[in-house]
Amino acid sequence: MPQLLDGNVIIGDILHEWSIAEYEQYERNWIWYLLMGTLGTVFVVYAVLSGNFLFALIIVLFSIILFMQSHQQPVILPFKIAEFGIVVNNRFYPYAELDSYYIVYNPPDVKMLFIETKSSVRPIVRVPLMDMNPNDVRQTLREFLPEDLEKEEEPFADMMARKWRIH
């Protein structure tokens, strides 16, 4: 479990630091809203007709969240790679709780650092690289964590969310 940063948590020297958005903000045109509205309506009608009211509620809540997310700016969070772990906003993840990392760098679409944790509750921390040099980040993290060289693509769920502009 990540620790809440306070005066008692020692993170060591900060090796890299940049700011990341809480979530990606996409430009969506009226066609996207029409398509998603139609798809959502079809799912809700199907759920009601099949008596699956929980699925209908989930679709409605998902739609509300997407709508609210598209009409507000994401919070900008600090991200730090430190000597004893990583810091995301005010949460510190010691390297002992992290399993491995990999970088997917296919600009301009994907520039992402994925850090896998040992926790089953939050298995992957995804961090946009922004304008950071991925080789510098790789060299630094290599000292503390093993790099998973077999993973060359972003997770399927992340790819679909990016393509459908819902992440």
Which pLDDT value is given to residue 1? 65
CATH 2.30.29 applies to domain 3-20+76-150: yes
Q: What residues contact residue 17 under an 8 Å CB cut-off, 6+ apart?
A: 78, 79, 80, 81
pLDDT < 70: residue spans in the chain? 1, 167
How far does CA 51 lie from the centroid of its chain? 33
Query: Which sequence spans correspond to the domains of the chain?
Result: 3-20+76-150, 30-70
Which pLDDT value is given to residue 166? 82
